[in-house]
Amino acid sequence: MGGLLGPGLAFGGDYNPEQWDEPVWREDDALMRQAGVNLATVGVFSWALLEPEEGHYSFDWLDAQLDRLHANGVRVDLATPTASPPPWFTLAHPEAMPVTADGTRLTHGSRDTYCLAAPAYRRAAARIAGALAERYAGHPALAMWHVHNEYATVCYCEQSAAAFRVWLRARHGSLDELNSAWGTAFWGQRYGSWEQITPPRATQWHQNPGHLLDFRRFWSDEALAAYTEQRDAIRRHSGPRTPVTTNLMLPGYQVIDLWAFGREVDFVGIDHYPDAPGVDAGADTAFGADRARSFGGGKPWLLIEQGTNTVHTAERTLAKEPGDLLRHTLGHLGRGSDGALFFQWRQSKAGAELWHSAMVPHAGPDTRIHREVVALGAALERLAEVAGSTVAAEAAVLWDADAWWALDTNGMPSADLDYHATVRRAHRALWEAGVTADFAHPEHDLSRYRLVLAPSLYLLSDAGAASLRRYVEGGGTLLVQYFSGVVDARHQVRTGGYPGALREVLGIRGEEFRPLATGATAALSDGSSGTVWSEDLRTEGARAVLRYASGSLAGRPALTRHAFGAGTGWYLSTRLDDERYAALLARVLEECGVAAEVPGLPPGVEAVRRRGPLDGRDTGWLFVLNHLDTPVQLPGITAGRDLLTGADVPGDGLRLAPGGVAVLREP
């Protein structure tokens, strides 16, 4: 079966040969061959070298590098260099430099020195993308196009303002509509002309929530337009057989709507750098990987960047333990990645990222890290047959950029409402239960899922509400968590009782939110307690499964269950501790018939399955990862051949060393 980019799995990383010279290139060739590298991402930040003066290109050096890689059997993920405009661009177009919300215009000297909405930048970016495509579309090394790098910047300049106004006219049609959508009657914010509207720059006091939300939507659309312009410039020269994509940012960044990008890229590519060790890194990897698979609609996808070891962040640098490299990579592969790329091949000795790890560390190839890289290359060759296979899930966690952006504004009833953390927690609880989960948008057809979780789905559009209703009516199980469905797509409260959009489906009516102070608890009828949030809630058809047990809410429902149509709507109005939350999920999973991939695995041991044809037969590959620092024996896994070792699983169950892994072709 073919993978995304040809037979087998992709393996390699960002390759920046312009930082080195001939003897190093020769060593790179030998080391790449030895490690089994078959894909190199080239040119990500090379704009100043490729176009040293406006309109004058210098391609000879890149010709030579691509020819050399090709001769060495390495295919190329060719990037457009638009995340790092050359110094001449800044001097010629000072108006295209980004401006922060407080009005500071940033200067040259780093990367991402541009405003995505600046016409001069957009023209220059599309031009270099087209020029690269014209030159290299037919190059035999070319495997894929990598547009830009991590769309993540935001700008509040006058050019952003102009583009924002155009976007607002298209969205709202008239100023009256805009004023009504944003509720500008409050605080006398009514706009009398389009020119009066600016990006939501720094203000004295709370900003208008509708304004903030629309700006984030606008900015995401602007970033997507910047992407599709480059993609189309490439397509004018490069045929449909060479896919075009971009590397999407880490899960915690929320500048673009990833569903929208998922629709426009030929396949999803992500960068992922877990920021915690041990089991947490396993959970984080699964979170990033499940998102990547979901944004692409379930197709295979590609891990475009990860670190071999330390990742420099503002706060600290997290070292990987021996074995982490293989296990983290398999965490991505098990969830659908058709390969593993790193940032970067050779560790820089100068420049802003000189302390970021690489496949060839500062100390050279005779190092633990490089040996693990070589071993990983060999492992990926043994796993070639999984390329192109897919992952299926029966559970989904709802994820919506609008809901995140809306919740992420000032003036919320509690500072402890955190969209990303709440979604991550829901996903993690499923991961710990051994259940593979997709992410889904509320407006998707959800009927293929037995269980859907809606954590902090603060904003819910009318279409989303109708979709969730259809889902439950049709037999689905929906578990909604507090502060969901309370505002509409304009960021206006749905009045008449909370959670407005879901009251009927959930059979409840909330009158009053009772956020809990940091550290405060609300006693519950089973002896446990909730934190963060509580509500004055009545049932209207639902059954109270748990009640508040003290204070003025004593006796009021805290957790409810409602039979609706052929399905069930659950509502959880407080934050349960980890143990009770897991117990609730276990109960709901059992009720709706969703089982773990492998029931009964110890906590910290992960199993996930890919499926696809092998020699004409439907085949399953079970990835089993021991994130613990102790050995485990797994009596629940008694069959299959480990592709990594060639050994059959013993009848008394798979054994894994501390941090150990297996990829079992199932009989």
Binding site for ligand GLA (CB under 6 A): 149-150, 271, 273, 305, 311, 343, 353, 356
Give dist(CA 618, CA 214) in Å, integer.
46
**Which residues lie closer than 8 Å to 470 by C-beta, 6 or more apart?**
447
Measured in degrees and rounded to the nearest 5, phi and psi for residue 181 equal -65, -40
Contact criterion met (CB below 8 Å) for 355 and 310: yes
SS3 per residue for 67-134: HHHHHCCCEEEEECCCCCCCHHHHHHCHHHCCECCCCCECCCCCCCCCCCCCHHHHHHHHHHHHHHHH
**Which residues lie closer than 8 Å to 371 by C-beta, 6 or more apart?**
none
Cis omega (within 30 of 0) for bond into 189: no
Active-site residue (options: 51, 305, 385, 432):
305
Q: At closest approach, how far in Å is the CB of 270 from ligand GLA?
A: 10
Cβ burial of 616 (10 Å; 0-12, 13-18, 19+) is exposed
Q: At closest approach, how far in Å is the CB of 305 from ligand GLA?
A: 5
Q: For residue 504, what is the DSSP state?
A: H
Q: At closest approach, how far in Å is the CB of 309 from ligand GLA?
A: 11
Contact criterion met (CB below 8 Å) for 478 and 468: yes
- Token reading at 453: 């979780």
Which of 135, 132, 133 minimizes the C-alpha distance to 239?
A: 133
Which of 547, 491, 543 minimizes the C-alpha distance to 524?
A: 547
Q: Which position's Cβ is nearest ligand GLA?
A: 271
CB nearer to ligand GLA: pick between 79 and 197 = 79
Give dist(CA 479, CA 467) in Å, integer.
14
| Sign of the CA dihedral with 77 first, then 83, 87, and 93 last | positive
Chain-centre distance for alpha carbon 503: 30
Cis omega (within 30 of 0) for bond into 499: yes
Q: For residue 551, what is the DSSP state?
A: G
Residue 262's SS3 state is helix
Compute the C-alpha angle 331/385/594, nearest 5°.
50
- DSSP string covering 275-339, please? -S-HHHHHHHHHHHHHHHHHHTTT--EEEEE--SS--B-SS-BPPPPTTHHHHHHHHHHHTTEEE
Q: At closest approach, how far in Å is the CB of 11 from ligand GLA?
A: 18
Q: At closest approach, how far in Å is the CB of 307 from ligand GLA?
A: 6
Active-site residue (options: 51, 53, 54, 150):
150
Which of 222, 226, 231 minimizes the C-alpha distance to 267?
A: 231
Q: At closest approach, how far in Å is the CB of 399 from ligand GLA?
A: 21
Q: At closest approach, how far in Å is the CB of 153 from ligand GLA?
A: 13
Tokens 């956020």 appear where?
Answer: 515
Q: At closest approach, how far in Å is the CB of 363 from ligand GLA?
A: 19
CB nearer to ligand GLA: pick between 91 and 314 = 314
Measured in degrees and rounded to the nearest 5, phi and psi for residue 182 equal -85, -5
Told to judge if 606 belongs to the known catalytic residues of this protein, a careful annotator would answer no
Q: At closest approach, how far in Å is the CB of 311 from ligand GLA?
A: 5
Told to judge if 305 belongs to the known catalytic residues of this protein, a careful annotator would answer yes
Residues with catalytic annotation? 150, 305
